[in-house]
């Protein structure tokens, strides 16, 4: 299945392409973004980090049918990447995202998250979505709470910023669809 273009009121979620690596490389390697990423993310971020990730991790996983990646862009500036959101068919890790700090706090990630979550449940027909996050990542927690997810587990995990308390949030397809109808 190819990754489709998704649209929301303000956003275009464009399928990730190899040429997006250049914009990712300029936006992503900032402490505000990477500090709550899993420890496998190299820090300091290498000069070819985005190119390597896009071409050797993200796009191959899309080709295998186990991942769906979108760049996040505003309708007004469709050539300007703001962040990334992905879905993974992997135990306890189905959705991840990041947004450049200058775009945070404006509801963009919540909007992108709703579109991707709806795709997970109503196009891919997955029964459950689980999203891990650093417990101190309050912005990410708010997205989970506002979308009806519940906290199911906590544990220590290694992040770029060190070992932190980690949370696992989840929601079922039935719960998601009931919330979207209300």
CA-closest candidate to residue 43, choices 57, 26, 30? 30
CA-based torsion, 109, 129, 172, 133: positive or negative:
negative
Rounded to an integer, what distance in angstroms lies between the CA atom of residue 96 and that of residue 131?
A: 7
What pLDDT sits at residue 182?
86
**pLDDT, tens digit (0-9, with 9 covering 90-100), for 112-137:** 999 999 999 999 999 999 999 999 99
**pLDDT, tens digit (0-9, with 9 covering 90-100), for 54-77:** 999 999 999 999 999 999 999 999
What are 163's strand-pairing partners?
158
More confident residue, 103 or 1: 103
**pLDDT, tens digit (0-9, with 9 covering 90-100), for 133-175:** 999 999 999 999 999 999 999 999 999 999 999 999 999 999 9
Element (H, E) at 169: strand 162-172
What pLDDT sits at residue 140?
97
Reading the block at residue 94, the tokens are: 């189905």
Mean per-residue pLDDT, 103-115: 97
Beta strands at 150-159 and 128-134: parallel, antiparallel or unpaired: unpaired
Rounded to an integer, what distance in angstroms lies between the CA atom of residue 159 and that of residue 134?
A: 8
pTM of the model: 0.97
Rounded to an integer, what distance in angstroms lies between the CA atom of residue 68 and that of residue 91?
A: 15
Mean per-residue pLDDT, 89-101: 97
What pLDDT sits at residue 112?
98
């Amino acid at each position: 299945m190819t990754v489709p273009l998704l649209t929301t009121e303000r956003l275009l979620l464009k399928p990730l392409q190899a040429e997006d690596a250049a914009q990712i490389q300029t936006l992503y390697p900032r402490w505000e973004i990477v500090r709550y990423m899993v420890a496998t993310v190299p820090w300091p971020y290498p000069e070819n980090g985005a190119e390597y990730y896009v071409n050797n991790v993200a796009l191959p996983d899309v080709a295998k049918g186990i991942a769906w990646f979108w760049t996040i862009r505003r309708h007004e500036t469709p050539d300007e990447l703001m962040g990334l959101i992905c879905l993974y068919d992997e135990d306890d890790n189905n959705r991840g995202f990041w947004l450049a700090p200058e775009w945070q706090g404006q509801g963009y990630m919540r909007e992108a998250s709703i579109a991707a979550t709806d795709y997970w449940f109503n196009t891919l027909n997955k029964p459950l979505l689980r999203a891990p996050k650093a417990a101190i990542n309050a912005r990410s927690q708010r997205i989970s709470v506002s979308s009806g997810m519940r906290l199911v587990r906590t544990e220590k995990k290694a992040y770029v910023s060190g070992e932190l308390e980690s949370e696992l949030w989840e929601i079922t397809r039935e719960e998601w669809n009931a919330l979207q109808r209300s």
